[in-house]
Amino acid sequence: MARRWSGFRREVSVLGRRWQEHARSSLQGLDTQRLLASTRASSSSELRKHALNSTIDFYTREYLSDSPPSTISWIGSVNAFIIISGGLISGRLYDRGYFYYILWGGSLLQCFSLFMLSLCKPQSVYQIFLAQGVGLGLGSGLVYIPSISVISHYFQRRRAMAMSIVASGSSLGAIIHPIMLNNLFQKLGFANAVRVSAATITAVVFIACCLMRTRLPPPAELPPFKKALRRFARDRAYIYSTAAMSFFAMGLYFVLFYIQLDAIKHDLGENFAFYSAAVYGIYLMSLLVIVNGASLIGRLSPTLFLPYLPRFGMLYCIMGSVLGATIMIFSMLALRSVASVVIIGVLYGFFAGIYITLGAPLLAFLTDDMSELGLRMGISFAFVGVGGLIGPPIQGALLTPSYIWWRPALFSGLVAFIATAFFGLMILTVRRTYTKAKVDAEGAVPAGSGSEKGG
């Protein structure tokens, strides 16, 4: 127990021993190259989950206008579910050394699904569901976890910072992508707009696949799956963190999916919702651009303050970000003006960005054997994916075709508040475990010293 919480060192793990051998080597140039490549790869998967949120509004108002919001929301929720839950498979394959197979296979499936999406006909929900919800989700899910986990091969002391930079890639792309799609939808139509998007993503993914490399060989042997599950089930901190992220996933996408539609239905003007408007002398961008721009700042923020936080500072940081996002979700009940939309979008994007960035480092923080990291992340994200799967359809059903906004806002806020409570339980568990291990270690040292002297 003391070894686990003593600075969270990884000498006991297979990968950890190799990390110690390379910890002081000069790899800054190589690390930067791989870091940028991972940023591009994770962007291509996470970007599809967030940047294509602009299509939810487009589907609801035009392309799938004959279908209710609850039906359309299944496209985004299934896509998010498969992306996140795909880590259960890709994480295990990554641990077994199949990194390049899943990287190239997932990337090809992403590109193929995007081009198939451009062939989908208006009012054909099942076609868009298969192309965007299932096909694109599978491809992105194969790439997502490996592109983040491979960073652990190159960084030890600054691993959380490196993962934060990688996670920021999706927000950086999502600032530009909604503007491009919203303009191209009107100028070129749905089919050609999606083809331009597919070509862009294909080029970015190809560059990332050519640059990304693993540094360390896979572990000689992996723990049996059932044995690992039993050990994970006894880890209360891991259980609480997984439950917290699962509940938060149920409410996370409400603002991302519906803030643009909410602004339009409240007669705030399509010019503001899609392009720009002058408010208080400031030129405001698209709502999704505002959210993703603030999310980019939120994702990069941990890279600045994480090195200076105390031992459990990251845990309090992720709990605080979820609490802040919860308050912003409840604030959707008061959305009545352009100013309120901008404030909610900026603050929610910032808090959500911090949370998304710290999700993977949190699981690494709670992992004592890094050879299990891929499996731990895969199992945890599978449950998170379930939350993301059922949340948006419930929100769409509560919204109804009459657009009763307070119902989904209240539901999303409540499940996010439950997530905050679970994060609080996680922090209490971690602190108690560390305190107990520290006391046991201090009690064992004098006894050992005395026996040695007596001998």
For residue 446, the model assigns a pLDDT of 56
Residue 3 reports pLDDT greater than 60:
no
Give DSSP secondary structure letters for 7-28.
TT--TTSHHHHHHHHHTTS--H
Q: Which two tokens stand for residue 154?
A: 């190159």
pLDDT value at residue 108: 93
Higher pLDDT, 201 or 43: 201
* Mean pLDDT confidence for 259-263: 77
Q: Which of 25-29, 105-109, 251-255 has the highest mean pLDDT?
A: 105-109
> What local confidence, expressed as pLDDT, does residue 116 receive?
93
Using pLDDT thresholds of 50, 70 and 90, give the confidence band for residue 165.
confident
In angstroms, the CA 11 to CA 4 distance is 10
Average pLDDT over residues 343-358: 89
Cβ contacts of 275 within 8 Å, gap of 6 or more: 179, 182, 285, 286
Is 25 a residue whose pLDDT tops 90?
Answer: no
User: Quick one: pLDDT at residue 413?
Assistant: 94
What pLDDT shows up at residue 54? Answer: 58
Q: Please compute the mean of the pLDDT values over residues 11-19 and round it to a whole number.
A: 35
Per-residue confidence (pLDDT) for residue 268, from 0 to 100: 64
Which one has a higher pLDDT value, 181 or 203?
A: 203
pLDDT > 50? residue 333: yes
Per the prediction, the chain carries an average pLDDT of 76
Q: Are 56 and 76 in contact (CB under 8 A)?
A: yes
The highest-confidence range among 70-79, 190-199, 319-328, 426-435, by mean pLDDT, is 319-328
pLDDT of 121 higher than 80: yes
Q: How far apart are CA 117 and CA 133, in angstroms?
A: 10
Q: What is the mean pLDDT of residues 74-84?
A: 83
Confidence of residue 171 (pLDDT cuts 50, 70, 90): low
pLDDT score for 157: 67
Q: Is the pLDDT of residue 250 over 70?
A: yes
Residue of 55, 22, 249, 36 whose CA lies nearest to 133:
55
Q: Report the pLDDT value the prediction gives residue 104, as an integer from 0 to 100.
A: 92
Instruction: Return the amino acid letter for 101.
Output: Y
Better pLDDT: 159 or 278: 159
To which residue do tokens 């597919």 refer? 198
Ranges 22-31, 290-299, 310-319, 424-433: which has the least confidence = 22-31
Task: Give the Cα-Cα-Cα angle 119, 131, 92 (nearest 5 degrees).
Answer: 150
Residue 7 has pLDDT above 80, yes or no: no
**What distance in Å separates the CA atoms of residue 388 and residue 85, rounded to the nearest whole number?**
10
Average pLDDT of the residues in 292-303: 81
For residue 401, give the amino acid letter.
P
Q: What residue ranges do the domains of the chain occupy?
A: 18-442
User: Which of 167-176, 218-227, 246-255, 307-316 tops mean pLDDT?
Assistant: 246-255
Under CATH, what is the fold of the domain 18-442? Answer: Growth Hormone; Chain: A; (1.20.1250)
* Distance in angstroms (rounded) separating the CA atoms of residues 299 and 168: 5
Per-residue pLDDT, averaged over 399-405, amounts to: 83
Residue 328's contacts (CB-CB under 8 Å, 6 or more residues apart) are 255, 344, 347, 348, 351
Residue 284 main-chain phi, psi, to 5 deg: -100, 140
Let me know: does 161 contact 362? Beta carbons within 8 Å: no
Q: Looking at residue 366, what DSSP letter applies? A: T
Indicate the pLDDT class of residue 297, thresholds 50, 70 and 90.
Answer: confident
Q: Which residues 6+ apart lie within 8 Å of 384 measured at CB?
A: 84, 85, 242, 245, 246, 249
Q: The tokens of 124 are what?
A: 């054909």
User: Which region among 209-213, 221-225, 241-245, 384-388 has the lowest average model confidence (pLDDT)?
Assistant: 221-225
For residue 104, CA distances in Å to 37, 211, 212, 300, 427 come to 13, 12, 11, 28, 38
